[in-house]
Amino acid sequence: MGKIVGGFWMPHDPVMFVAPDAPPQEQRDNVWGAYEVCARRMAELDATAAIIVGNDHYILFGTQCLPRYLIGNGDVDGPIEALPGLKRGVISNHQALAQHIVAEGETQGIDWTVARSFSVEHSFAIPHQLTVQAAERMLGRSIPTIPVYLACGVDPYISFKRAGELGRQIRAAVESFDADERVVIIGSGGISHWVGTVESGRVNEEFDREILAHGVNGDLAALCAYDDADILERGGNGAMEIRNFACAMAAVPNPRGEVIAYEAVPAWVTGLGFLQLFSQESAQ
């Protein structure tokens, strides 16, 4: 029987790679260092597989097809964008587990859109390269990683209700999986950020800390209670990505969280929060 042994929330800010020297040194150190802390903790969890819940930014999916939720269960590579410091390459996927999530989902009315081949973009690649690959180096072995993409950047957005259901279904599938997998799930997203709008560069620390508090408390209901107008006003269009946090938190049994780092970084146009989700059931 497999197990979700924990989770993380972490950002995927491409501006970090485009303008690495823009913020004050202390902020840079805290943010880059937070990815290292997450990697170390992932290695300490002895993860054998990972799932990264990200979202497209109108790069992968065009107007002809906008999936609400998608899983990559075959050939995976990327990232598709050329960002300085991110390497493009083949990504080790856990096809058996991904296929099991799809099959188990069908028994629960969760009809995943499946990508048999998939090129990820930065919302997967940044957590993967900075945390999963770093944990792989610490452990000296591969951590096959499954991409899940939720519609948070392009409407029609996935509902919070569905994001939570997907997390719970992922957990059920992991627990009914044959092998003794230890799975870590990562919700990838910035907190407040305005992407491509006139407010770009604004960061709302009050909103960001409110969201992180929901993670600390393991309060999925509170996280899922925001309406889109409120998010857009207080967190910007980029903050729709807290749906990825909801999915990851729902996958962790009886979760509680610990903030690893938070920085409000206008120079990187985002409120950047790092949080570890612990399963209270695992601790008992």
Partner 1 sequence: MSRNVLERVLWQLSVERAAKERFRADAGKFLARFDLSEEERQMVIEFDVSALQRLGVNPMLTMGFWQELSPTRDMALYKERLGASDEQRAAFSAALKG
Question: Which chain residues interact with partner 1 by CB under 8 A?
Answer: 15, 18-19, 22, 57-59, 62-64, 153-155, 195-202, 237, 266-269
- Between 25 and 64, CB nearer to partner 1: 64
- Between 66 and 222, CB nearer to partner 1: 66
- Between 102 and 267, CB nearer to partner 1: 267
Minimum distance, C-beta of residue 58 to partner 1, in the bound complex (Å): 5
Minimum distance, C-beta of residue 31 to partner 1, in the bound complex (Å): 13
Minimum distance, C-beta of residue 223 to partner 1, in the bound complex (Å): 23
- Between 105 and 153, CB nearer to partner 1: 153
* Count of helix runs (H) and strand runs (E) in the chain: 11, 9
Residue 132 per-residue DSSP state: I
Minimum distance, C-beta of residue 257 to partner 1, in the bound complex (Å): 28
Cα 93 from Cα 146, distance rounded (Å): 5
Minimum distance, C-beta of residue 154 to partner 1, in the bound complex (Å): 6
Cα 194 from Cα 272, distance rounded (Å): 13
- What type of residue sits at position 141? R
- Judge whether 62 and 114 are in contact, CB under 8 Å: no
- Between 28 and 171, CB nearer to partner 1: 28
- With vertex at residue 158, the alpha carbon angle to CA 232 and CA 108, rounded to the nearest 5 degrees, is 155
Residue 151 per-residue DSSP state: S
- Between 18 and 103, CB nearer to partner 1: 18
Residue 130 per-residue DSSP state: I
Minimum distance, C-beta of residue 60 to partner 1, in the bound complex (Å): 9
- Judge whether 246 and 224 are in contact, CB under 8 Å: yes
Could you give the angle at which helices 160-175 and 95-106 cross, rounded to 10 degrees? 120
